[in-house]
Amino acid sequence: MRKLESTVKSLSEELLKANGIIQKLQGEVRGLVGKVKVKNTVTVSQEKVLRETEAKLQSVDKDLQTAQREVCSKEEEIKQLKEQLEVTVQKLNESKEVLKTNENVINWLNKQLNEAELTRKMASAEASDAHSGFSALTGIRAQFYPPPGKTTDVSPTERGAGPTVSRQL
């Protein structure tokens, strides 16, 4: 009986030790389960952040592609505008040349008109001078005046030493 009591006592001590180990292991399991739950929560939140970041990245990528298309479009527009500017400048230069030619023709025609008018006045003055004795050759100066409006004076260098000429633009 003593032997059995001693065996029961020893078994009970071992059982108490085993229960202590089991409780310790259960505590560790509860701790590990808590850690796993925290890790799962962190993982879920990180996955959510990752999905949001990927969505933002896709949105930014679409915006970038749109901006690149707009830049290409604007560059093409700039190229077309530069070409248009070159054509316009070329036409302006051609127009300036035509204007200069026209001014030269007008000046030449004015000179011819003034010379013809001077010759006519001199002829009529000589005819009247023959009777009065006055010389019309001194101080006769012809001028051509266009109808009223916006006018520009031709400089003495443009018209030579001839009379003052105004012309309508």
Per-chain mean pLDDT for the chain: 83
How much is the pLDDT for 130?
62
Q: How many CA atoms lie within 13 A of 60 on its CB side?
A: 6
Rg for the chain (alpha carbons), in Å? 56
Q: What is the pLDDT of residues 10-20, one digit of tens each?
A: 999 999 999 99
pLDDT of the residue at 123: 86
CB 121 within 8 Å of CB 136: yes
Whole-number Å distance between alpha carbons of 30 and 140 = 128
Residue pair 169/152 in contact (Cβ under 8 Å)? The answer is yes
Residues 6+ apart with CB under 8 A from 110: 144, 154, 159, 162, 165, 167
pLDDT tens digit string along 65-76? 999 999 999 999
Cα separation, 116 vs 33, whole angstroms: 121
> CA separation (Å) from 27 to 32, 127, 161, 168?
9, 144, 121, 110
For the segment 99-112, the average pLDDT, to the nearest whole number, is 96
Q: Residue 131 — very low, low, confident or very high, per pLDDT cuts 50/70/90?
A: low
Task: Check whether 149 has a pLDDT greater than 60.
Answer: no
Strand partners, 152: 167
How crowded is residue 30: how many other Cβ atoms within 10 Å of its Cβ? 10
Confidence check: pLDDT of 136 > 80: no
Kindly state the DSSP code that residue 146 receives in the 8-state scheme: P
| Closest residue by Cα to residue 143 from 117, 168, 104, 108 | 117
